[in-house]
A = this chain, B = another copy of it.
Amino acid sequence: MTSEQRFRVGLLGHGTVGSAFADLLPRRADQITALTGMRPELTGVLTTSRGTFAEVVENADLVVELIGGLEPAREYALAAMRAGKHVVTANKQLLSHHGEALWAAARENGVQLRFEAAVAGVVPVIRVLQETLAGAHVERVTGIVNGTTNFILTQMAQTGATYAAALAEAQQLGYAESDPTDDVTGRDAAAKMAILARLAFDTPVHIDQVAYEGIERITPEDLQYADDLGLGLKLIGTAERVGEGIAVAVHPAFLYDGHPLASVNGPFNAVTIESPDITEITLSGPGAGGPETASAVLGDLVSAMIPPASTPEPAATLPVFADVESSFYLHLEVADRPGVLAQVAQLLGLQGASVRSVVQKGLGDNARLVMVVHPLLESRFYAAVELISGLDFVRSKPRAIRVIEEEYQ
């Protein structure tokens, strides 16, 4: 390997996200090399105790800024771009205060400034606004962009906990910091909405132009009444066109059941973008977390290395299997007599299928036995169904449909 094929990455900051990124980069290096033709290598790290900024920048083609806060992050990002280096950052405070100066520096120095991880973690809302919707007329962006508050509100709604109790639980689980002020007051979400509004409407937006209100005054009673009205409560950021201008705000808000953000629970984030051209699209996923945010940073790194002009050659030719495990729904029309369920369960059990839930309905000739079985190989499930269909009390062809379980949320 010649030195021309290296892509040198300098890392500023080595906290939760920084260390997750330093861990992820070597694990993905082969794949990224296959994709881009260059091998990414961590050539310098600046922490509070080691390295100097000048050294890290000098030895890098791209600088990842994960220090957070305004200074020296601003100074470092500007200096890196002036030195002709691409910059990837996850710093929402920096961009919501000094975005225009930073974007101008990127344009003037012909380098890339990428910041997917600054809003909604690995949820690709920045890329979608900048690329998929480049040239589209966006009317409104609505988002759940703070995972801490969404976790707290979900807990309050699901368990009846008070705000204080739900916050304490969030802190215990690592979803809230020991000083949660930025999150619970809505200020963190306000910074993110300023960035989204800037991209959606092509106009400068500073965090000081975003009105925000937090969740501290929400009571369990609000959530209970809301449930009666068919409403769910979220901390919602909105950025929308109003007359000849725009409005950007963060507030607790109720959503009706059909809203695409209504079913976003726990520490997840989600953003809905509306435009007459596209109706609306919604993106959701984990909004924070070291590995997830590091993944977003890595996606930006890959994009900066080489914009993918075409689909690369296949990395492998994997076998494509036809018989896989699934959970199943099984619907049987049966004669209503003792022992029916036991016999069905026994035949399922012979193939390794266990019953998760059962509903029995109807009487006599109209009896129905409907059940969901835990995951097993499709071939084994259908072998059991074949045997069940031969039982004398089964009155018509059994009906089977796959059931998909959700691992998260």
Contact = CB atoms under 8 A, between A and B. Distances in A.
Interface stretch (A50-58, A179-187, A247-255): A247-255
**Does more than half of chain A's interface fall in helix, strand or loop, or is it mixed?**
mixed
Contacts of A409: 258, 260
B282 A134 contact: no
A48 interface: no
A324 interface: yes
Contacts of A368: 225
B132 A222 contact: no
Contact of A324 (B219, B242, B279, B321): B242
A103 interface: yes
Contacts of A247: 320-324
A323 B243 CA distance: 12
Contacts of A238: 404
Contacts of A243: 321
A28 interface: yes
A303 B406 contact: no
Contacts of A270: 282
B134 A225 contact: no
A399 interface: yes
Copies of this chain, count: 2
A254 B403 contact: yes
A87 B140 CA distance: 31
A256 B248 CA distance: 35
A308 B134 contact: yes
A244 B318 contact: yes
Contact of A320 (B135, B246, B311, B313): B246
A135 B302 contact: yes
A68 interface: no
A407 interface: yes
A246 B318 CA distance: 7
A55 B224 CA distance: 66
Contacts of A348: none
Interface string A380-405: 00000000000000000001011111
A255 to B, nearest CB: 5
A102 B198 CA distance: 37
Most buried by B among A132, A248, A276, A321: A132
Closest A-B pairs by Cβ, 9 of them: A281-B285, A245-B319, A307-B307, A106-B310, A202-B315, A259-B406, A253-B402, A103-B311, A203-B318
21 contacts: A32-B135, A35-B134, A104-B313, A106-B311, A111-B310, A124-B128, A127-B127, A127-B128, A131-B131, A202-B316, A222-B329, A229-B359, A238-B404, A252-B402, A253-B404, A254-B403, A255-B404, A256-B406, A260-B263, A278-B286, A281-B286
